[in-house]
Structure 1
Amino acid sequence: MESRVLSRATAFASVPSLRKSPRQPGAVSFVSALRPIGTVSEGGNLIWGRQLRPALLLEASPPSSRKEILKPCLAAAAEGGDSAGEAKVGFIQKYPALVTGFFFFMWYFLNVIFNILNKKIYNYFPYPYFVSVIHLGVGVIYCLISWAVGLPKRAPMDSNQLKLLIPVAVCHAIGHVTSNVSFAAVAVSFTHTIKALEPFFNASASQFVLGQSIPLSLWLSLLPVVLGVSMASLTELSFNWLGFISAMISNISFTYRSIYSKKAMTDMDSTNLYAYISIIALFVCIPPALIVEGPQLLKHGFADAIAKVGLVKFVTDLFWVGLFYHLYNQLATNTLERVAPLTHAVGNVLKRVFVIGFSIVVFGNKISTQTGIGTAIAIAGVAIYSYLKAKIEEDKRQAKAA
C-alpha cells in the first residue's frame, strides 16, 4: 500500500530513515510515536492511517521549518481545549439549581392539573378503583412506547432487582388506590390536608421500623401538624370516615414506598425505576377493581358516564388524567433522585399548599374558618419539622467532615 504524505514535502524530507535499528537505552521507538488518526492542521503527518507525533518531526527538522509545524499544532490545541471545555460543561452542569427548580415547577403544575381533572371525573364517574387502573394503564403504555423508541433505554431486570421493586410497587398500588378512594369521597383540599401528616408517618417509620433515633424536638414539631389536621377534620363540610381512613392508609403506604424506593434507586435510574413500579402496580390493582367495581361498571357505570358527558369526552378525560398522573409521578421520582429526601419532603408539603389552594378556587369548596386555620397550622407544623430535620442533618454532615 502506498504511503500518503499529507504535509509539505520539505517536512517529509526531513523525517529520518524508518529502517529498524537496534534498540538503545532511552531511545524512542517508532511504534510508540504513533497515535490515532488526526488532522493535518494538528501539526502531524498522516502515514498509513497513523499520525507521527510532532516531536519526531521537530528533532530532524531545520529551525526554519519548525515554526511552520508548531503554529498549526498550537492553534489546534487552543481551539480543541475551548471546544472540549464547552462540551464538558453543559447547561445542566452549569445551572443545576435552575434545572432542579424546573423539575419542582413541572411536578407542581402537573400535580395540580391531575387533581383538578381527577376530581371532575369522580363527579360523574365515582369508581376510584377502576380510575386507578386507568391511571396506571396509561402510564404503562407510555413507558412501553418510550422504551420502544429508546427514550430512555430500558434497563435490564433480574431477580434481585425484582425482589427490591415488588414491595415498592405493592405500597405504591395500595397508596394510589386509597388516595383515589379518598379523592372520590371528600374534597380534594381535605384529602391533601390529611396527607400533610406524611412527615409524622415518616418519623414513626424511621424510629420504629428502621431503628433511627428521632430527637424530641422533631416529635414536638409534629404536634402542630396533628393538631391542625384534627381541627380541619372536625369542621370539614365534606368529612366522612371512608375518605379520612383511606387518606390515612395512603400516608402509611407512601411512607413505606419512599423507604423502599430509595434503596431500589441505587441500582437503576429513576425513570426506569418508576416504569417497572407502574407495571407491577398495575397487576396489583386490576383484581380489586374487577372484584369491587366490575359488576357495577358493567351494569350501569359506563352507561351513566357516557350519558352524562358523551363517549368522546369520557374516553379523553380518562386518557388525559392517566397521562398527567404518570408524568407528575415521573417528575416526582426524578426530583427525588436529584435532591435529598428531606428536600423532597419539604417540596411535597409545598405542593399540597398549591393543590389545596387551586382546588378551593376551581371547585368553589366552602370551608369553615376552623378548617382554614387548622390547615394553616398543619402546614406550618410540617415546615417547622422540615427545618429542624434539615438542621440536624447538616450538623451531622459537618461533624463527619470535621
Structure 2
Amino acid sequence: MPEDAREMDGKRRADVSAKSVSGEADAVSAEGGNILAARAEALALTALEWGRAAWPTFTLVASFGGWYYFSIAFNIYQKALLKAVPMPWTVTALELLIGSALVAATWGVRLKRAPECTSDMIKAVGVLGTVHFLGNALTNVSLGKVAVSFTHTVKALEPVFSVGLSAAFLGAIPSLALCASLIPIIAGVMIASATEVSFNMAGFLSAMGSNLTFQSRNVLSKMFMKGDEMKKLDYYNLLGVLTIASTVIAIPVALATEFSKMTLANVTAGGMPIQTVGFNLVMAALCFQLYQQLSFSVLERVNPVTHSVGNSLKRVIVIAASVLIFRNPVSATNIGGTALAIFGVILYGQVKQREGAKKSA
C-alpha cells in the first residue's frame, strides 16, 4: 500500500476511534445527568411529602400560638381600656360592632361564603347571640373591677357550671370521678378569692355570671345545633352570626345603661387621651375576634378534651402575663389557690377524656 494511502487509512481509524471515545463520553455524561436529575427529583418529592406531613402540625402549633398570643393581647388592651374608661357595656357593644364589620367584610369580598339564614336559624342565633353578648359583657365588667388574674381564676370554675347545666338540661348525670375532679377547682378558687388583694364582690359575681352565661351558651348550642340548618354552619360562620346577633342586642343595652356617660369628658376622665382610647378599643376588638377564631381553628384540629386542657394552659399564661405587666400584688397563698384551681381543670379534662374513651370502646 502506498505511503499516502496508508497515512489516510490511519487518520480515518483515528477519527473513528475519537468519535467512538467521544460518543462513549457523551453517553456517560448523559447517564450521569439522568442520575443527578433522578436524585434531584427524588429529593424534591421527599421534601414535598415531608412538607405535606408536617403542614398539619405546623398549622396546629401556629393556631395554638396565635390563640395564646391574641388572648394575652386582648386582656392587656381590655384591662387598660376599662381602667381608664369604666363603661363595660359600651366597650362590649363597640367591640362587637367592629367584629361584625370584619365578618361582613370577609363575606363581602368572598373570603368566606356567607351562610343562608332561615327563620329557624335566626331564632336559634338570636338566643345564642343574647347569651354570647351577656357572657362577654359580664367578663368585661369583671375585668374593669378586679385584676385580670383574679377574673381568670374565677373563670376556671367553668367546668362546675358545665357539669351542673348539662345535668339539669341535657340529662347528663356526672360520674363520681367527674364530681371529685371538681373539688380542687372549687377549693382553689375559694383560696384565691379569700386572699385576693383586688377582691371586689361586683367583679367576683360578674365573673361567676360570665361562667353561667358561657356554659349556658354551650348547652344551648348542643340543643340548637341538632337542626339541619344549624349544622350547615362551620365554626367561622357560627362565630360570625353570633357576633352580629350579639351586636344587635348589645347596642340598645349599652344605650340604656351608659348613655349618660357617653361624653368626651367622661371618656377622657381617666387620663387616657381619646386617640389612645380609640387605639386600645380597636386593638382589643381585633384581638378578641382573632383569638376566638383561632380557638375554633384549634377545636377543628383536636378533640374537645385537648382543647379544654389547652384553654386551661392559656389561662395560666394570661394570668402570669397580666401579673407581670400590671404588677398587681399576689401572695403565695393566692398563687397556690390559682394553681390548685387550674390543676383541677386539667384533672377534669383527663377524667372526661377517659370516660369518653370508655363510651366509644
Shift of 1:273: 1.1
Q: Does 1:178 align with 2:138?
A: yes
- The aligned runs of 1:130-169 (5 Å cut-off) are 130-169=90-129
> In the superposition, relative to structure 1, how do residues 344 and 167 fare at CA in structure 2: closer, same or farther (>3 Å)?
farther
Give the structure 1 partner of residue 337 of structure 2.
Answer: 374
1:256 aligned partner, one-letter code = S
CA distance in structure 1 between the partners assigned to 2:174 and 2:330 by the alignment: 35
> In the superposition, relative to structure 1, how do residues 274 and 91 fare at CA in structure 2: closer, same or farther (>3 Å)?
farther
Give the structure 1 partner of residue 262 of structure 2.
Answer: 297
- The aligned runs of 1:222-371 (5 Å cut-off) are 222-262=182-222, 263-264=224-225, 266-298=231-263, 300-304=265-269, 308-371=271-334
CA distance in structure 2 between the partners assigned to 1:257 and 1:93 by the alignment: 36
- Bigger Cα displacement from structure 2, 336-345 vs 135-144: 336-345
CA distance in structure 2 between the partners assigned to 1:319 and 1:129 by the alignment: 16
Shift of 1:99: 2.2
Give the structure 1 partner of residue 84 of structure 2.
Answer: 124
Give the structure 2 partner of residue 57 of structure 1.
Answer: none
TM-score, normalization: structure 2? 0.81
CA distance in structure 2 between the partners assigned to 1:192 and 1:135 by the alignment: 20
Give the structure 2 partner of residue 42 of structure 1.
Answer: none
Q: Contact between 1:201 and 1:255, CA under 8 Å: does it hold in 2? A: yes
2:273 aligned partner, one-letter code = G
CA distance in structure 2 between the partners assigned to 1:116 and 1:147 by the alignment: 29
Question: What is the DSSP-based 3-state SS (H/G/I as helix, E as strand, rest coil) of the residue aligned with 1:222?
Answer: helix
2:305 aligned partner, one-letter code = L
- Bigger Cα displacement from structure 2, 98-107 vs 197-206: 98-107
Q: Which has the higher contact order (CA 8 A, sep 6+)?
A: 2
2:327 aligned partner, one-letter code = G
Cα deviation 1:83-114 (Å, max 9, x = unaligned): xx99x989677643432232222111100000
Cα deviation 1:210-237 (Å, max 9, x = unaligned): 1012110110111010000000001100
- The aligned runs of 1:70-81 (5 Å cut-off) are none
Question: What is the DSSP-based 3-state SS (H/G/I as helix, E as strand, rest coil) of the residue aligned with 1:380?
Answer: helix
- The aligned runs of 1:91-110 (5 Å cut-off) are 95-110=55-70
- Bigger Cα displacement from structure 2, 172-181 vs 117-126: 117-126
CA distance in structure 2 between the partners assigned to 1:90 and 1:278 by the alignment: 39
Q: Give the alignment partner of residue 197 of structure 1, picking from 157, 174, 180.
A: 157
- Bigger Cα displacement from structure 2, 173-182 vs 336-345: 336-345
> In the superposition, relative to structure 1, how do residues 106 and 261 fare at CA in structure 2: closer, same or farther (>3 Å)?
farther
1:141 aligned partner, one-letter code = A
Q: Contact between 1:135 and 1:326, CA under 8 Å: does it hold in 2? A: no
> Identity over the aligned pairs, expressed in percent?
36
CA distance in structure 2 between the partners assigned to 1:178 and 1:144 by the alignment: 25
Q: Contact between 2:267 and 2:274, CA under 8 Å: does it hold in 1? A: no
TM-score, normalization: structure 1? 0.73
Question: What is the DSSP-based 3-state SS (H/G/I as helix, E as strand, rest coil) of the residue aligned with 2:231?
Answer: coil
The answer for unaligned runs of 5 or more in structure 2 is: 1-41
CA distance in structure 1 between the partners assigned to 2:95 and 2:260 by the alignment: 20
Shift of 1:277: 0.4
Shift of 1:163: 2.4
Question: What is the DSSP-based 3-state SS (H/G/I as helix, E as strand, rest coil) of the residue aligned with 2:308?
Answer: helix
1:304 aligned partner, one-letter code = A
CA distance in structure 2 between the partners assigned to 1:352 and 1:330 by the alignment: 17
CA distance in structure 1 between the partners assigned to 2:342 and 2:359 by the alignment: 26
Cα deviation 1:304-352 (Å, max 9, x = unaligned): 25xx332322212211111111111122223333333222222211111
2:213 aligned partner, one-letter code = S
The answer for unaligned runs of 5 or more in structure 1 is: 1-81
1:246 aligned partner, one-letter code = S
Question: What is the DSSP-based 3-state SS (H/G/I as helix, E as strand, rest coil) of the residue aligned with 1:280?
Answer: helix
Give the structure 2 partner of residue 25 of structure 1.
Answer: none
1:105 aligned partner, one-letter code = G
> In the superposition, relative to structure 1, how do residues 334 and 168 fare at CA in structure 2: closer, same or farther (>3 Å)?
farther
Higher normalized helix content (fraction of residues): 2
Q: Contact between 1:227 and 1:377, CA under 8 Å: does it hold in 2? A: yes
CA distance in structure 1 between the partners assigned to 2:53 and 2:218 by the alignment: 27
Q: Contact between 1:232 and 1:375, CA under 8 Å: does it hold in 2? A: yes
Aligned pairs, number? 312
Q: Contact between 1:128 and 1:177, CA under 8 Å: does it hold in 2? A: yes
2:261 aligned partner, one-letter code = Q
Question: What is the DSSP-based 3-state SS (H/G/I as helix, E as strand, rest coil) of the residue aligned with 2:269?
Answer: helix
CA distance in structure 2 between the partners assigned to 1:270 and 1:371 by the alignment: 36
Question: What is the DSSP-based 3-state SS (H/G/I as helix, E as strand, rest coil) of the residue aligned with 1:309?
Answer: coil
Shift of 1:170: 1.2
CA RMSD after TM alignment: 2.2
Q: Contact between 1:92 and 1:99, CA under 8 Å: does it hold in 2? A: no
Q: Does 1:211 align with 2:211?
A: no
CA distance in structure 2 between the partners assigned to 1:347 and 1:209 by the alignment: 26
Cα deviation 1:4-34 (Å, max 9, x = unaligned): xxxxxxxxxxxxxxxxxxxxxxxxxxxxxxx
Q: Contact between 1:197 and 1:251, CA under 8 Å: does it hold in 2? A: yes
